[in-house]
Amino acid sequence: MIKRDLFNAEHDAFRDTVRKFIDKEIAPYHATWEEQGIVPRELWLKAGAAGMLCCTVPEEYGGLGLDYLFDVVVFEEMARSGFSGPGFLIHCDLVATYLKSFGTEAQKRQWLPKMVTGEAIGSLGMTEPHAGSDLKAIRTKAVRDGDDFVISGQKVFISNGQMCDLIVLATKTDASAGAKGVTLFLVDTSLPGFRRGKNLRKLGMKGQDTSELFFDEVRVPATAMLGEEGQGFALMMTKLAQERLAQAIRSATVCETVVDYTLAYTAERKAFNQTIADFQNTQFKLAELKTEAVVGRTFTDQCIKLFLDDKLDAVDAAMAKMWLSNTHCKVVDECLQLFGGWGYMWEYPIARAYADARIVKIAGGSIEVMKHIISRQMIADYRKSSA
């Protein structure tokens, strides 16, 4: 089997710490959290105390200043556990990353230390009822009023929406300027005019809260702007590769995990006086699924290496996201089939994995958008080489 060579002894020790945390602080309670649709804030504080949040935040902002692979360990172990709550990935890989990359010194000092400890939970406010993958079509507006901006509009499908203290919010400061009219703000959810909608009921990812958010003339100071006015779309584009890589990491890990416990189930479950694994069809199917999981892992690890060297571009990330998302859904579906009727029962992890899988073809840019990004670059490269 192909051996992973990304991690060192410190990463491995941290992985053991994360696994123990999940076993102790998440596993015994997750079924209840799925019913409630949310995890308690105390869990975030415990994760912060364990060093699991925002591992790459520099020490001057309260973090540990570790490399990206420590965040990868957290993402992988959460995916391996099969537990959908809490939304650490959004908080650590997206919100904290935007702050580190584009925030002012004052913004970093205000928010990053609290994000590291879990005192402040971060969320990303981009999707709207009429604008999903097409972010330049958002309607939430921010109008300048002296030294402030007044924000009005709504967002939907926002992970961590019920709990967030900070939102990296995409707005339109110039409705006539298309993508160049998009501006990002750091919105404190304690401000007057901000309101959370109900916790949305979803097909899967039931342990992670997801909300509509409403902004009724929320007044924020101009100093809450992230980056410069009109730069929001460009800033978002620079971080999409990292977001899509994180999703590929999750998908690769889920593929490995469900194949492993499908193997264990079929090796023990009997039918017609033999185990399910004794049937040639099962053996061939397991061989196919294992191979796809290994290919997915190898591709993902290569993308991680490119990212660590600052060489992962939008097309590489789009290919990883597209292939791993499709493979994720296929592998989970075919593994469930090998469980038979028991695979449809919620107490079996494969059932939860199946329900949680479908969103990966939509979140972070749909599969169709990924195909557009890849094919557009292919055609451009061909025409350039043929000119």
Condensed to tens digits (0 to 9), the pLDDT of residues 108-135 reads 999 999 999 999 999 999 999 988 777 7
**CA pair distance 51, 207, nearest whole angstrom:** 22
**Which class is 234-386 in CATH?**
mainly alpha
- pLDDT surpassing 80 at residue 214: yes
Question: CA 316, 322, 324: angle at the middle one, nearest 5?
Answer: 95
Give the pairing of strands 225-226 and 182-188.
antiparallel
3-state helix, strand, coil in the chain (%, to 5): 55, 15, 25
Give the pLDDT confidence score for residue 81 in this predicted structure. 97
CATH 1.10.540.10 intervals, the chain: 9-120
The model's pLDDT over 16-31, given as tens digits with 9 standing for 90+, comes to 999 999 999 999 999 9
9-120: CATH, from 1.10.540.10, 2.120.10.30, 3.40.50.720, 1.10.10.10: 1.10.540.10
Percent of the residues in the chain that have a pLDDT greater than 70, as a whole number:
100
CA distance 226 to 329: 36
Tokens of residue 351, six digits: 């059932």
Q: Do the beta carbons of residue 135 and residue 150 sit within 8 Å?
A: no
Residues of the chain with CATH 1.20.140.10: 234-386
76, 212, 243, 256: which is the annotated catalytic residue?
Answer: 243
What pLDDT score does 68 carry?
97
Average pLDDT over all residues of the chain: 96
What would the pLDDT profile of 270-283 be if each residue is shown by its tens digit? 999 999 999 999 99
162-171 tens-digit pLDDT: 999 999 999 9
pLDDT tens, position by position, 156-204: 999 999 999 999 999 999 999 999 999 999 999 999 999 999 999 999 9
CB-side neighbour CA atoms (13 Å) of 249: 25
Which DSSP symbol is given to 67?
Answer: -
Task: Give the pLDDT of residue 190.
Answer: 98
CATH class of segment(s) 124-228: mainly beta
CATH 2.40.110.10: which residues of the chain?
Answer: 124-228
pLDDT of residue 132: 75
Chain centroid to CA 242: 10
243 labelled catalytic: yes
**For residue 1, what pLDDT band results from cuts at 50, 70 and 90?**
low
